[in-house]
Amino acid sequence: MATLKKGDKKVITAWSFYDWANSAYALVITSTIFPIYYVAVTKTETSDKVHFIGREYTNTTLYTFAMAFAYMIVAAIAPLLSGIADYSGNKKRFMQFFCYLGSLSCACMYFFTGLENLWVGILTLIFACIGWSGSIVFYNAYLPEIAEPQDHDRVSAKGFSMGYIGSAILLILNLAMVMKPELFGIENSGQASRISFLTVGIWWALFAQITFYYLPNNVYGHKPRGQYLFNGYLELKKVYFELKQHKQLARFLSAFFVYNMGVQTVMLIATLFGSKELKLESSQLIIVILVIQFVAILGAYLFSYLSGKKGNIFTLKVSVVIWIGICIAAYFVYTATAFYITAAVVGLVMGGIQSISRSTYSKMLPETEDHATYFSYYDVTDKICIVCGMALFGFIEQFSESMRNPILALILFFIVGFVLLLRIPKKTNN
């Protein structure tokens, strides 16, 4: 396929299938089975301290620092890579590279067995995160190329919903293996968890083929000239100055940067909180995350509907206010029931705020063919805020010996983000 027609249902569905493919990583690796498995195999009866590269950490602090480091790597290389991808017309090729890096890293998590090879767990976690995050830069950049501006909310919501459904299907299978390993001829739940990591890698690479088959590699027929590296930097410089001329877009990015620090941090540490602070069983945590996935499908479409009635910026303000309430409630959560209720609310706004944020940015873009470069700014903003949020969370936890105090500190991000959203006129979100 050499060209791409906006609004083509087959292409939009194929694009959405990458959410179906890669969301297995987001759910199984970052949200449920891997963090639960990681905590279980990196603690002893008397301590949750681990040693890594000559330093001592609590096991969850090392986990948050590793995630922050991975996102920092992506934030550093994504702008350069996306600039090169736009200039050379190799956007799909870059997306494929990161997809396979991430899926292979997930599969290699099978070899992480405990403290004796902690480095395997940390390195595969970092490379899987780099692969997933890197591929998302180029995946998001296709949105303004496959859909008209008035359809961005709907198409973005479809992608997230496909991701929630697909990853939930795989998680159900993984959950059955972990809870009843004997039914699958597996020795124990630990081995079942490791096999789950292998299934994520296969699932991700397999279903991504649907996306790669239908999406073109060079939408605008760019013909590369000269040295890619040098021209990639020139493209970034050009977009940097263009952003200065689009004040509303710059204002949105600043608001997104701040409130998204809170959103991403809460999502990434939720399972660790339930496991460490509330002592919930693995089966309890996985089931509640599974419920969140289905609630998030409803949330993505609910907030898409609200944005159609009230506008994107209004919808984002509502989402941020709800997130403030979630952080306050989480600080006082001490029972499984309270955790389930809070988690359900997280699911409702999780899909909504991510979907609307992506489509709002897409709508605000100026007329351009350099979508990967522009979306690299969005992705870099996303990744840097994760780095800041996770690093701050890990720093506070390291000194407070509790995960409650850093959760309370996240409220500040949402308050500042809400104030920054007030600077954006309503007319810019149509």
318-329 pLDDT, tens per residue?
A: 999 999 999 898
Would 180 be classed as within a structural domain? yes
- What angle in degrees, to the nearest 10, is found between the helix axes of 59-88 and 228-244? 100
> Does any domain span residue 146?
yes
Handedness of CA 403, 406, 408, 411 (dihedral sign): negative
Paired strand residues for 56: 51
Task: Report how far residue 156's alpha carbon sits from residue 16's, in angstroms, rounded to the nearest whole number.
Answer: 8
Query: Phi first, then psi: what are they for 57, rounded to 5°?
Result: -135, 160
Please check whether residue 195 lies inside any domain of the structure.
yes
Question: For residues 290 and 172, is the Cβ–Cβ distance under 8 A?
Answer: yes
**Is residue 149 included in any domain, yes or no?**
yes
Residue 344 domain flag:
yes
Judge whether 349 lies within some domain.
yes
94 in Cβ contact with 371 (< 8 Å): no
In angstroms, the CA 392 to CA 406 distance is: 8
Alpha-carbon gap, residue 56 to 278, rounded angstroms: 24
pLDDT of 119 reads 93
Whether the Cβ atoms of residue 157 and residue 300 lie closer than 8 Å to each other: yes
pLDDT digits (tens, 9 = 90+) for 233-278: 666 667 677 777 888 888 888 899 889 988 888 877 777 788 777 8
Residue 4 lies in a domain: no
Average pLDDT, the chain: 83
The gap from C-alpha 248 to its chain's centroid, in whole angstroms, comes to 24
Please give the average pLDDT of every successive group of 10 residues along the chain, which has 430 residues. Answer: 67 91 90 87 82 85 87 79 66 90 97 93 95 86 78 79 86 89 91 95 96 77 56 64 79 88 82 79 75 78 85 92 91 86 86 82 76 70 81 78 79 92 69
- The CA R_g of the chain, rounded to the nearest whole Å, is 21
Q: Which two tokens stand for residue 67?
A: 């995630």
The predicted structure's pLDDT at residue 370 = 62
Q: In this predicted structure, what is the pLDDT of residue 212? A: 93
Contact 195, 110 (CB under 8 A): yes
Q: Which domain holds residue 203?
A: 9-217+226-429
Q: What is the per-residue pLDDT for 173?
A: 92
pLDDT at 416: 92
Q: Is residue 1 in a domain? A: no
Report the alpha-carbon angle 356-31-194, nearest 5: 140
User: CATH code at 243?
Assistant: 1.20.1250.20
pLDDT score of 1: 41
Q: What is the pLDDT of residue 218?
A: 60
Q: Structural domain tally of the chain?
A: 1
